[in-house]
C-alpha cells in the first residue's frame, strides 16, 4: 500500500474506540442514594465509563466524517470534472467508503437541489428530497473546515446526518457535495459490557438518534425519530446536555415500554458528546448494577 492510499484510508476509516475519558461523578447525595440501593461506586463509575467512551467515539466519528467530506470535495475530479467524470468517480469511491457512509451526492442547489452525480446511480437527475435533507432551505453555516453538519433526521429508513461542503463553480452555479451518514450503522458497532446493557444517543429535542440495539428498518419509516421517555425533561438527558456525566435511577425509562421482562428496572449512566447537542445514555438493569 503506497503512502497516498494509506493516508486516504486513515481519513476515511471508520473510527474505532478512542479510550475512556475522565469521569465526572454524581452529587454526594445521589451517590449516597445509589450506594444505599446496592450500587457501589466502582460499578457506577464503570458504566459512566461505558457512556463516556461511546460519547468520545461519536465525537471522533463526527470529526472524521467532516474530514471525509472535505477530502472528497478537494479532489480534482470533484472540483473540475465533467458530470460523467464525477459520476464514474463516485461510483468507484462507493466501494471504498466506510460502512456508515450511506450515500454521497453532488447537487446543484440553484436547480432545485438536483442530484448531478451520486454513489447511487438512480439518484442522478432526481431532486434531493426535503425529508432526507430538510436543512436545504436553511442558511448553511460552514465551520472553519468549510463543512456543514446537519441535525439527525429519520429518512430512507435510517437515522441520517449529512455533511455538506462547497465545490467549485460550473459557470455561475456552485455545486455542493453531500455525504449522508447512517447513525444507526455507527451506533450498532459500539460494544456493550453485556447483552442486557444498551446505549442510546439522544438529541436536545429528546429524540433517539440511534442506539446499540438493532433498529428494525420498518421502525425507521414513520418520518420522525422516536421520543425518549420524558424526552428533554428526562434526568439523564438534562444532565448530559448540561455537559455533565453521571448515574441516575431514571423514572422515565422505568415507566415506559422500554422495560422488557427480566431486564428491568434500569439505572442509567449518561455522558455528553463534546460540541454536539447529543447525549449518550447507557441503560443497565438494576439487578446487573447491584451485582457489580
Of 277, 282, 273, 208, nearest to 15 (Cα)? 273
pLDDT of residue 253: 80
pLDDT of residue 38: 63
pLDDT of residue 14: 38
**162 compared with 214, residue with greater pLDDT:** 162
pLDDT of residue 18: 37
- Residue 15 pLDDT > 70, yes or no? no
pLDDT tens digits, residue range 58-69? 999 999 999 999
- Give the predicted TM-score (pTM) of the model: 0.84
- Three-state SS at 285: strand
- Residue 172 pLDDT > 60, yes or no? no
Alpha helices in the chain (DSSP H): 3-12, 28-36, 41-74, 76-80, 83-93, 183-188, 235-241, 251-254, 286-291
Mean pLDDT across the stretch 172-176? 79
Percent of the chain residues topping a pLDDT of 70: 82
Of 177, 215, 166, nearest to 101 (Cα)? 177
pLDDT of residue 207: 95
User: Mean pLDDT over all residues of the chain?
Assistant: 84
Mean pLDDT across the stretch 179-202? 94
Bridge partners of 165, per DSSP, are: 147, 177
Rounded-to-integer distance, Cα 55 and Cα 68, Å: 20
Domains and CATH numbers, the chain: 21-61+187-291 (3.30.450.20), 68-184 (3.30.450.20)
Mean pLDDT across the stretch 163-190? 88
Residue 117 is placed in which grid cell? 452525480
Amino acid at each position: 500500500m503506497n503512502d497516498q492510499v494509506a493516508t486516504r484510508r486513515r481519513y476515511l476509516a471508520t473510527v474505532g474506540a478512542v479510550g475512556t475519558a475522565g469521569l465526572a461523578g454524581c452529587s454526594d447525595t445521589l451517590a449516597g442514594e445509589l450506594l444505599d440501593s446496592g450500587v457501589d461506586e466502582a460499578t457506577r463509575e464503570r458504566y459512566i465509563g461505558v457512556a463516556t467512551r461511546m460519547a468520545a467515539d461519536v465525537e471522533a466519528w463526527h470529526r472524521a466524517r467532516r474530514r471525509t467530506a472535505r477530502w472528497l470535495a478537494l479532489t480534482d475530479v470533484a472540483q473540475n470534472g465533467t458530470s460523467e467524470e464525477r459520476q464514474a468517480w463516485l461510483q468507484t469511491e462507493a466501494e471504498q467508503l466506510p460502512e456508515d457512509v450511506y450515500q454521497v451526492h453532488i447537487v446543484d442547489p440553484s436547480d432545485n437541489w438536483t442530484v448531478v452525480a451520486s454513489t447511487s446511480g438512480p439518484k442522478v437527475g432526481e431532486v434531493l428530497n426535503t425529508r432526507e435533507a430538510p436543512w436545504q432551505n436553511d442558511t448553511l453555516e460552514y465551520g472553519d473546515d468549510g463543512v456543514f453538519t446537519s441535525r439527525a433526521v429519520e429518512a430512507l429508513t435510517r437515522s441520517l446526518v449529512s455533511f455538506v461542503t462547497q465545490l467549485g463553480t460550473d459557470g455561475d452555479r456552485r455545486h455542493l457535495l453531500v455525504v449522508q451518514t447512517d447513525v444507526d450503522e455507527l451506533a450498532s458497532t459500539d460494544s456493550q459490557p453485556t447483552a442486557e446493557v444498551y446505549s442510546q444517543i439522544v438529541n436536545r429535542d429528546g429524540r433517539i438518534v440511534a442506539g446499540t440495539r438493532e433498529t428494525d428498518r420498518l421502525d425507521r419509516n414513520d418520518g420522525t425519530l422516536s421520543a425518549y421517555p420524558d424526552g428533554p425533561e428526562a434526568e439523564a438527558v438534562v444532565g448530559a446536555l448540561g455537559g455533565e456525566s453521571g448515574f441516575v435511577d431514571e423514572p422515565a425509562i422505568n415507566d415506559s415500554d422500554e422495560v422488557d421482562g427480566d431486564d428491568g428496572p434500569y439505572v442509567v449512566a449518561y455522558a455528553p458528546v463534546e460540541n454536539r447537542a447529543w447525549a449518550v445514555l447507557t441503560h443497565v438493569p438494576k439487578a446487573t448494577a447491584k451485582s457489580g
